[in-house]
Amino acid sequence: MPPFASSQFPSWMLQVLPVAFLAITFLQSGLDKVIDWKGNLGWLKGYFAKTPVLRSLVVPMFLTLTVLEVATGGVCAAGVVALGVTGNSGLAALGAMLAGITFLALLFGQRIVKDYPGAAGSVPYFLVSLAALFATRG
């Protein structure tokens, strides 16, 4: 971490803040899925009930999304720690890439079920992942 008064501090914060945002977002969402697996799965089965192609794939999609969210949140959190301890942005960039992929997976499901307001609500989160990726590029 550069000293607060240094000219590098604002650039460092531009790396840390969006990656920390992504870590919080995905750890909360992923861990909620783990803790309340049954409730979340029940809701998703209803959400995809009218989609003939995906209706039978809800369980594997939910498992995949849960793993993606927990992994993304963990890598982003590790990236924030690495930025603070060593200044290395590699893990943070990897976390931002995973976040973009995970948001695309969420967007896919929302678009398939024609949840256009939900899909539109995902756009700002996806943009944060792009901003984080841009800020952490090596």
Question: Tell me: the pLDDT tens digits for 88-125?
Answer: 999 999 999 999 999 999 999 999 999 999 999 999 99
Q: Residue 135's closest CA among 79, 86, 85, 81?
A: 79
Does 7 reside within a domain?
Answer: no
From CA 93, how far away is CA 133, in angstroms rounded?
A: 5
Does any domain span residue 3? no
Q: Is residue 56 part of a domain?
A: yes
Record the pTM: 0.92
Share the mean pLDDT of the chain. 94
Residue 44: domain span? 14-136
Say what the pLDDT of residue 86 is.
95
- Amino acid code (one letter) for 97: M
6 within some domain: no
Number of domains in the chain: 1
Does 5 fall in a domain?
Answer: no
The reply to whether 30 falls in a domain is yes
Q: DSSP assignment of 34-94, as one string?
A: HHTHHHHHHHHHHHTTT-HHHHTTHHHHHHHHHHHHHHHHHHHHHHHHHHHHT---HHHHH
Domain assignment of residue 116, yes or no:
yes
38: Cα separation from own chain's centroid:
22
- Check if the beta carbon of residue 106 is closer than 8 Å to that of residue 66: no
Distance CA 63, CA 7 (A): 44
In the chain, what percentage of residues exceed pLDDT 70?
100
136 pLDDT tier (thresholds 50, 70, 90):
very high
- State the CB neighbour count (10 A cutoff) for residue 123: 11
115: region left, alpha or beta (phi > 0 left; psi from -120 to 50 alpha): beta
